[in-house]
Amino acid sequence: MPELTDASPVRVEGLEINIMHDGVVIYQHDRKKIHYLNHTAGLVLELCDGRHKVEELAAIVGKTYGLPQPPHDDVANCLQDLRARELIR
Amino acid sequence: MPAGFTGQGVDPLTCAETIRILSTEFRITSNIPELIERLAYLTQRAEQDLPVLEHCEISVQREDGEYRISGGEGKKDDCELSLPMAFEAMFARLHDLGMRHFPDHIRIHAASGFGRDGMVLLVGEKWSGKTTTAVHLLLEGFEIVGDELVLLRHGQAVTFPRPFYLRHSAIDLLPKLGGMTDRAPFVHAETAGKLIAIDPLKLGRHWKIRPAPVGTVVFLEPNHGGTSSLRACSKVEMVRRVLAQSSPPSSGREDWVADFCSTINEADTVIARMGDLASATDLFRRLLS
């Protein structure tokens, strides 16, 4: 399902986010599960605080990486992946 | 008369031996001289720079055709029907009791030693050549202190002390061992075959177990028949690989993954494709010296 641009995704509780030099390691305490993300997916996850709408996330990611256009499709795919992993709702 | 036989102050049919494992000092008594003789398989005399926190009495007695293993606070007696099984049960008991003072430590299945920046971990999957590499580097003058288990907490690692158990089939790869393997204790393991217990002290090497920060993590990949090479490994990838060879702390402390990640993040992380050992020596010398 495509991400609704006016939705504000929220990280699930109980995530331990470990920032590495070249990516992010997430430990989901309740499921005792570990996830490996690149920095961009880690940034998107961090921004999923319920206060940013999807299109705002794309704008922030685009600005952070100096992109000419907000990467709407990439962020939507990333959110889908994070949701599939049950890291956001 | 077997080593460890004590003739004074104890039952004349009782043998005794003392073994130190990390912060626990064990005194093992038995009325089975063969058992004390076989302790040479697991006994190590490594210097251990850790405080002794506990003295523990372990007894293994042959009674009415069975073997009773007792001792260690909170441990029930074990009864076994054969000497090899009694030996294994005693070994497991020593291991458990020795680990009791390290409940918060992550256990990493790794060979270990010291390099210029602290401790070096040699991690790999089963049959990746950890012990062969460890013994080779030991013979080449590197300070290697273990081939099996490392305990990690808050970035500080300490090696679990035990002899290196080398597969008999690997001896031909290590000609510098010379004839010492003919005299070394050995056992037959179900899956690995004959295992030779290698004692670094008997090779004339310094063997000192001590806590130190982790400076380098090397993941070994077999490249049988080829040459050896090194390549950098990303931190996230190394976390993924090494976690697969690790167990969480027995205490279940919640921050162990963060501790683990932080340790890997601060260390040099390298993948070693292990081909011939001669070419590996120069690579490790550049990496660790």
Tell if the CB–CB gap between B261 and A18 is shorter than 8 Å.
yes
Q: For B45, list phi and psi in degrees, rounded to 5.
A: -120, 35
DSSP B246: E
Residue A28, chain B, CB below 8 Å: the answer is no
Residue of A15, A17, A22, A33 to mutate, interface with B, max B Cβ within 10 Å = A22
Q: Which two tokens stand for residue B243?
A: 């976690």
Tell if the CB–CB gap between B235 and A18 is shorter than 8 Å.
no
Residue B268, chain A, CB below 8 Å: the answer is no
| pLDDT recorded at residue A3 | 57
**Cα–Cα distance measured from residue B250 to residue B153, given in angstroms and rounded to the nearest whole number:** 12
* Residues above pLDDT 70, as percent of chain B: 95
CA B256 from centroid of its chain's CA atoms: 22
Residue B255: closest CA among A27, A85, A46, A12: A27
- What confidence category does residue B131 fall into, taking pLDDT thresholds of 50, 70 and 90? very high
| Residues β-bridged to residue B222 | B274
- What confidence category does residue B228 fall into, taking pLDDT thresholds of 50, 70 and 90? very high
Q: What is the ipTM of this complex?
A: 0.87
| pLDDT recorded at residue B224 | 86
Residue A29, chain B, CB below 8 Å: the answer is yes
A21 CB neighbours in chain B (<8 A) are: 235, 265
| Alpha-carbon dihedral angle through residues B130, B86, B202, B214, given to the nearest 10 degrees | 40
Which chain B residue has its CA at the smallest distance from A20's CA?
A: B265
Give the residue-averaged pLDDT of B104-117.
96
**Cα–Cα distance measured from residue B200 to residue B183, given in angstroms and rounded to the nearest whole number:** 14
| pLDDT recorded at residue B4 | 42
| Residues β-bridged to residue B198 | B164
B245 CB neighbours in chain A (<8 A) are: none
Tell if the CB–CB gap between A21 and B235 is shorter than 8 Å.
yes
Q: What is the pLDDT of residues B167-223, one digit of tens each?
A: 988 999 999 988 777 777 777 777 777 888 899 998 999 999 999 999 999 999 999
- What confidence category does residue B6 fall into, taking pLDDT thresholds of 50, 70 and 90? very low
Instruction: Specify the range with the lowest mean pLDDT, choosing from A39-53, B140-154, B181-195.
Output: B181-195
Residue A13, chain B, CB below 8 Å: the answer is no
Task: Using only the alpha carbons of chain B, give its radius of gyration.
Answer: 20
**Cα–Cα distance measured from residue A87 to residue B155, given in angstroms and rounded to the nearest whole number:** 28
